[in-house]
Amino acid sequence: MTEQTLVDGLYREGPSIRDTKAPDGPLDRQWSERKFGAHLVSPTNRRKLTVIIIGTGLAGASAGATLGEAGYQVTSFCYQDSPRRAHSIAAQGGINASKNYRNDGDSDYRLFYDTIKGGDFRSRESNVYRLAQISGSIIDQCVAQGVPFAREYGGLLDNRSFGGVQVSRTFYARGQTGQQLLLGAYQALERQVAAGTVTTHTRHEMLELVVIDGRARGVIVRNMVTGQIETHLADAVVLASGGYSNVFNLSTNAMGCNATAIWRAHRKGALFANPCYTQIHPTCIPVSGDHQSKLTLMSESLRNDGRIWVPKTAADQRDPRQIPEDERDYYLERTYPAFGNLVPRDIASRAAKKVCDEGRGVGPGGLGVYLDFADAISRLGKETVTARYGNLFDMYERITGEDPYQVPMRIYPAVHYTMGGLWVDYDLQSNLPGLFVVGEANFSDHGANRLGASALMQGLADGYFVLPNTINDYLASSPHDPIGADHPAVVEAATTVRDRITTFLSAQGARSVDSFHKELGHIMWEYCGMERTEAGLRHAIDEIRRLRGSYWADVRVLGEAEELNQSLEKAGRVADFLELAELMCIDALHRRESCGGHFRAESQTPDGEAQRDDENFAYVAAWEWAGADSAPTLRKEALRFEWVELKQRSYT
C-alpha cells in the first residue's frame, strides 16, 4: 500500500468504490432487469452447491428456507439453543408494505420516498426502491405461511400508522410482530430441515471467516456445549448475524447480540460501512440502576395513541396527574404540528434529550419523559387501549411496578438499531466474493436512520426475495475447488481462534468481562450516543484504546475451553466490540455533518435540527481493515440521487 498521510491523525483515504450491480435505467425496472441478467443454476446442480448461513433471524431463516427450497445444501448456525430465538423475535411494532389496502395514497414510490427521506438521503435509491417493490410479496408470503396478522371483522388485514409517515401501511400481530414473522420463517426453515436440504447447528458461534484465494469459503465455529472448534466449508457464506447495538452495553438488543461475525469478516477484508449510524429509540423504559443488564423497548406504536409531554417548569416534582393541562408541554406536538408524536425516531429521541437537559425530565435522575394514555383511554375506552397495547402495558408494569393505565409511562431513549454494517452491493454481496450479508448485519437500505417497521421488511426482503435471486449469479461459477481441512488458510483461521481462547483463559486478570463491557458502554453512550462532538469523540477514542489495552491484560475468564463457558463467549464478543467501538468513533468523527441518527453538535440549524452537508458527505463511508494497530482506510461510495430531490428533512 502506498504510504499516505493520516487524515485527522486517525485514518487514511483509499480509492473510492462503486456498486456496479444495479442496472441503469428506470428505477422500477432495475430489479427485474438484474434478476434477468443474473446467471442461473440448474436444479440438478443446486444439490451439489453448499451455502453456510450465520444467523437464523428474519434474514437468515428466510434465506435458509428459500435456498433450501431451491435445492441448495444449506448449513445454518445460531448461538441460541434454537433458531427460533434469534433477536428478530423481539420486534414488536410491525412490518411495512406498500399494499395501499387503506386507499390512503400509498404506493411503491411513496414507501421508497419515505424511506430515502427517513434515512436522511444517505441510502442508495436502487436498493430502497427494490425494497418497496418487494414489500407486498412479503406480506403475501407470510400470510400463506400462517402468520396471524391482526385482522378486521371483515376478515381482512388491519394496518396501522408508524413513526415518520402519513399513511397506514404497517401490518402487525399485536405487539409481537417480529415473533410471528420469525416463527413463520423458522417453521419454513424447519420444514427444509425435514426435507434434508438444511442442517441447523444451534449453540454454535462463528468466530472466524475462512477466505481462500480472495473468496469466502467457510467459517470456524465453536460448539458452545462441547467447546469443540469446528471448520465448516462451503461454496458461499451468508452473514445474517444481526446488529451491533450491544457495543453500547445497554441497548434494546438481546444479551447475546454481537458483532463478532461481521467484525471477523471485516478483519478478513470485508468493508464496514457507516459504522457510526446508530439509532436511538425514543420509547424505552428508563434505566433503574447500576445492575441494569439491558433496556426494554416499548413499541413505537405506542406513540400512535400516547401523548408525550414534560412539565413546563424545570424540576417539577408533582405527581403527573396533579399537573394541570396548561402546565404541561406536549413538546413534539408543539414543535412538529404536522407529525406530532409520530416524528421519526431520531428527532423524537433528541427532543427528549433536549427537554431533559433543560432539567424538565421526570423520574429518577430526571432522565425520562411522560407518555400519557389518559386522553386515549377517555377517547377510545380502556378496552380498545387494552386490545391494542395490553401486553406492552403489562410488560411496563412488571418492570417498573407502576400501572400505566393510571399513571403516565416514563420513557427515555435507548440504543436500538445499527444502520451501519458490512458494505454490500446491489446483490448483497460484500467486496469479498462469496461473502453475502443480509438483514441488519449489512448497511444497505436505511441510510442514516431507519423508519419504524422497516427492519423486518428489509430482513425478509433480503432473505426471501433478494439473496435467493442474486446468490445464484455467484454460485453459477461453483462448485469451487474442494478444500481440505489442512489448507493453510483453514489452519490459520482455526489457530487464531484457539489462540484467542487460550489467551483469555490464561489471562488471570482481576476484572470480569462484564465490567469491561459496562465501561465501554458508558464511553460510547456518553461520546458516541445521541449527540457527538469533535472533542468528545477524540476523547472516546483515547479511552477506548486505553480500555482495550487493559482488557487483554486484566480480564478474568474462569472455567475451561471444552465446556459450556458463558464468560468465555462474552470475552470474545467484548474483545470485538472494543475494536469496533473505535472504528465507530472514527467514522463519527470524520463525518462532520449531522444526518439521521448521527447528530454532530457542530452541525445544526439555528433551531437545533440536524444539518446535513450534501456537498461533502453524500457518500457511504466504507472502512477497510488495515491491521491491528494501523489506521483504517476510508473508501467512499458516492450516492447519486436521480429520482428524488435532496431536501433538508422537515417534519414540522
Partner 1 sequence: MRITVRIWRQKNVETPGKLVSYTRDGVEPDMSFLEMLDVLNEDLIAAGNEPIAFDSDCREGICGMCGVMINGVAHGPQRIATCQLHMRSFSDGDTITVEPWRADPFPIVKDLVVDRSAFDRIISSGGYVSVNTGAAPEAHATPVAKTNADRAFEAAACIGCGACVAACPNASAMLFTAAKVTHLGELPQGQPERAARVVSMLDTHDAEGFGGCTNIGECAAVCPAGVPLDTISQLNADLLGAFIPNRRD
Using CA atoms, how far apart are residues 587 and 598, in angstroms rounded to an integer?
10
Using CA atoms, how far apart are residues 593 and 538, in angstroms rounded to an integer?
16
**Residues 272-331 close enough to bind partner 1 by CB under 8 A:** 288-289, 291-294, 296-297
Q: Is 345 a catalytic residue?
A: yes
Using CB under 6 A, which of the segments 3-11, 88-96, 145-153, 525-533 binds ligand FAD? 88-96
Angle formed at CA 543 by CA 574 and CA 508, multiple of 5 degrees: 45
Using CA atoms, how far apart are residues 561 and 566, in angstroms rounded to an integer?
10
> Measuring CA to CA, how many Å separate 504 from each of 239, 516, 544?
26, 14, 19
Q: Is 572 in the site for ligand FAD (CB under 6 A)?
A: no
Q: Which of 104, 152, 327, 383 binds partner 1 (CB under 8 A)?
A: 152
What's the number of CA atoms in the CB half-sphere (13 Å) around residue 55? 33
CB nearer ligand FAD, residue 308 or residue 455: 455
**Residues 40-69 close enough to bind ligand FAD by CB under 6 A:** 54-60
- 628 contact, one of ligand FAD, partner 1, none, CB 5-8 Å limit per kind: none
Q: Which residues contact 40 (CB under 8 A, 6 or more apart)?
A: 472, 476
Total H helices, total E strands in the chain: 19, 21
For the chain, the farthest-separated pair of C-alpha atoms sits apart, in whole angstroms, at 75
**Residues 164-223 close enough to bind partner 1 by CB under 8 A:** 173-174, 176, 179-180, 183, 186-188, 190-191, 193-194, 200, 202
Q: Is 141 in the site for partner 1 (CB under 8 A)?
A: yes
For the chain, percent helix, then strand, then coil, each to nearest 5?
A: 40, 15, 40
**Residues 239-278 close enough to bind partner 1 by CB under 8 A:** 254-256
CB nearer partner 1, residue 83 or residue 282: 83
**Residues 544-583 close enough to bind partner 1 by CB under 8 A:** 556, 558-559, 563-564, 566-567
Q: Which residue's entry shows cell 433538508? A: 648
Q: Which of 412, 282, 406, 279 is nearest to 341 (CA)?
A: 282
**Residues 457-476 close enough to bind partner 1 by CB under 8 A:** 464-465, 468
Q: Which of 30, 66, 135, 449 binds partner 1 (CB under 8 A)?
A: 66
Beta strands in 162-227 (DSSP E): 168-171, 198-201, 204-212, 215-223
Q: Is 161 in the site for ligand FAD (CB under 6 A)?
A: no
- 611 contact, one of ligand FAD, partner 1, none, CB 5-8 Å limit per kind: none
Using CA atoms, how far apart are residues 54 and 202, in angstroms rounded to an integer?
10
Of the residues 345, 410, 573, 649, only one is catalytic, namely: 345
Q: Which of 252, 304, 449, 470 binds ligand FAD (CB under 6 A)?
A: 252
- 453 contact, one of partner 1, ligand FAD, none, CB 5-8 Å limit per kind: ligand FAD
β-bridge mates for residue 370, sequence order: 309, 410
Q: Is 242 in the site for ligand FAD (CB under 6 A)?
A: yes
Using CA atoms, how far apart are residues 640 and 652, in angstroms rounded to an integer?
26
Active centre residues (catalytic): 345
> Could you list the residues that contact ligand FAD (CB under 6 A)?
54-60, 77-80, 86-88, 90-95, 177-178, 205-206, 240-243, 252-253, 257-258, 260-261, 297, 416-417, 439-441, 453-456, 459
